[in-house]
Amino acid sequence: NRPTVVFAYTIKGRGLPTEGHPNNHSALLTAAQMQALADASGMDTARPWQRFDPSTPAGQLCARRARQLYRDPVAPSRPVSIPASLGHPHRKPVSTQAALGRFLADLAHDAPEAAKRVVTCSPDVASSTNLGGWINKTGVWSVRDRHDWFADDSERVLRWREVSNGQHIELGIAEINLVSLLGELGATWSRWGKRLIPIATLYDPFVSRALEPWSYGIYSGGQSILVGTPSGVSLAPEGGAHQSISTPSIGLEQPGCIAWEPAFAQDLEWCLLYAMEHVGVPGGTSSYFRLSTRPVDPALAQVPADPALAERRRQQARAGGYRLPAGHPVAEEDVTLIGMGAIMPEVVAAAAVLAAEGVNAGVVCLTSPDLVFRSFQQRGRRETGVGGSIADELFPAGHPAPLVTVLDGHPHTLAFLAGVRGDPIRCLGVTEFGQSSGLDDAYRIHQIDTGSIVDAALTIAGR
């Protein structure tokens, strides 16, 4: 029984010399005009923030509104346990987009307390971004239960049950509405003391369509996880309209948000759980994941079998990246190849080709260039933040080597790595609009295929 928003309809500059003037957007009153306003208002320019006399109608109105607007402090919600890992093996080639769907379906079974806090939403792409398994388990939210007109379809894979306790919200083709909702869902922890973990999926090229309200939602304290998928020219057959180029930079440059682009399903699981830990909590942060529809063989990640080494890999993945294979002699490297996301198979293949030519190529797999950049930026500070010392771990100061970076996105995203040790660098990526083609052709056209990586490495290494 109290207002939460006060709308004031008036004329801009009402009662001032600038009232209604077309140039009043940046106009400032002179000292004489300020004094005249103070005299007319019964105020003192030396005390601009003094309150109205409580005995006056204005003072009484302010006091009454203060009582109506007051709310008791919000009690923090009960802590939610987020596991470090779901513990499922990742043995078959799978895309990170498909791994997202499996992750959510497994979460409902393996971590039900955390899953109860998750709300997913999408702009009419729930099935094409692999949310089907999650929706089948949790249902689609509706104010009241609705009749399922397709319940008798025996061949239907996605069960679209609209129920009052559903945990997915579908918004139609409306990305701006999607991120606006995301900001509100991500603020419930501070406004109502009820923690939610909102996760939204949309086609990655349309992140820019929703960028302003997404950024404002983060600015206003809404913590959430945005998943852009599929991304890059790896979605070759669908043509340039669905191939994103600038989104890696957008994610890296967005305040209050960590940008991720894991290549492997296991990395995605670890990083998503990390992101969930930091959503809906004081001092938390949003996350943006850039995923792909390209299946990648998990064997390329070479996750150590030893539990202690596997735990070290998990920590490195959550910090921003790791080296392949673990224990590779950094001091002997002739060149270092750095990749992220769907392009990692080409990076690993290029290292093998170079080795056959007698060139020792190290391989760095980034899960978050954002965290590596933060690690680089905070060198020399007394206190380190997220990312820690990962930049120095990946690029030890005592063992410089020329760098070749490659990603399915704009190459300048990783150009900052030249500054970590002052190494010569060659940045490969996508700088032109894409087109419909096969995957191999797309990579070759944009010079992010294995041959282009090998050529760049040989050139920069002086071979």
Q: Where in the chain is the domain with CATH 3.40.50.970?
A: 96-290
The confidence score (pLDDT) of residue 180 equals 95
pTM confidence score: 0.89
Please state, in angstroms and rounded to a whole number, the distance separating the CA atoms of residues 341 and 407: 7
Q: Where in the chain is the domain with CATH 3.40.50.920?
A: 320-460
Kindly report the CATH number that applies to the domain delimited by 320-460.
3.40.50.920
The confidence score (pLDDT) of residue 267 equals 97
- State the 10-residue block means of pLDDT for the chain, 463 residues long: 72 86 86 92 88 92 92 83 91 96 93 95 87 89 87 77 90 91 94 93 93 95 95 88 91 96 97 96 96 96 94 96 86 94 97 95 97 90 69 93 97 96 96 91 96 97 88
* 109-136: burial string, b at 16+ Cβ within 10 Å, e else: eebeebbebbbbbbbebbeebbbbbbbb
The confidence score (pLDDT) of residue 382 equals 58
Contact between 230 and 342 (Cβ < 8 Å): no
The confidence score (pLDDT) of residue 23 equals 83
What is the CATH T-level fold of the domain 96-290, as seen in this structure? Rossmann fold (3.40.50)
The confidence score (pLDDT) of residue 320 equals 96
How many of the other CB atoms lie within 10 Å of CB of 166? 19
Tell me which amino acid residue 440 is: D
Secondary structure (H, E, C), the chain? CCCCCCCCCCCCCCCCCCCCCCCCCCCCCCHHHHHHHHHHHCCCCCCCCCCCCCCCHHHHHHHHHHHHHCCCCCCCCCCCCCCCCCCCCCCCCECHHHHHHHHHHHHHHHCHHHHCCEEEEECCCCCCCCCHHHHHHHCEECCCCCCCCCCCCCCCCCCCCEECCCCEEECCCCHHHHHHHHHHHCCHHHHCCCCCEEEEEECHHHHHHHHHHHHHHHHCCCCCEEEECCCCCCCHHHCHHHCCCCHHHHHHHCCCEEEECCCCHHHHHHHHHHHHHCCCCCCCCEEEEECCCCCECHHHHCCCCCHHHHHHHHHHHHHCEEEECCCCCHHHCCEEEEEEHHHHHHHHHHHHHHHHCCCCEEEEEECCHHHHHHHHHCCCCCCCCCCCCHHHHHCCCCCCCCEEEECCCCHHHHHHHHHHHCCCEEEECCCCCCCCCCHHHHHHHCCCCHHHHHHHHHHHCCC
